[in-house]
């Protein structure tokens, strides 16, 4: 059970990391 939890947390962390990286790489300049 502990291993499954660690794997699930690793997957969630990876997904959050990808989302954060995508948000940072996205242009933050307001379109005018």
pLDDT at residue number 9: 92
Going by pLDDT thresholds of 50, 70 and 90, the confidence category of residue 31 is: low
Cβ-proximal residues to 17 (8 Å cutoff; 6+ apart), any chain = none
Tens of pLDDT, residues 5-30: 999 998 888 888 777 777 676 666 66
Q: State the residue for tokens 């990286």.
A: 21
Cα distance between residue 16 and residue 7, in whole Å: 14
Minimal CA–CA distance to 25: which of 17, 1, 10, 11?
17
């Amino acid at each position: 059970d502990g291993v499954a939890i660690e794997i699930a947390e690793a997957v969630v962390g990876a997904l959050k990391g990808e989302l954060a990286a995508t948000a940072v790489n996205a242009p933050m300049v307001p379109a005018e």
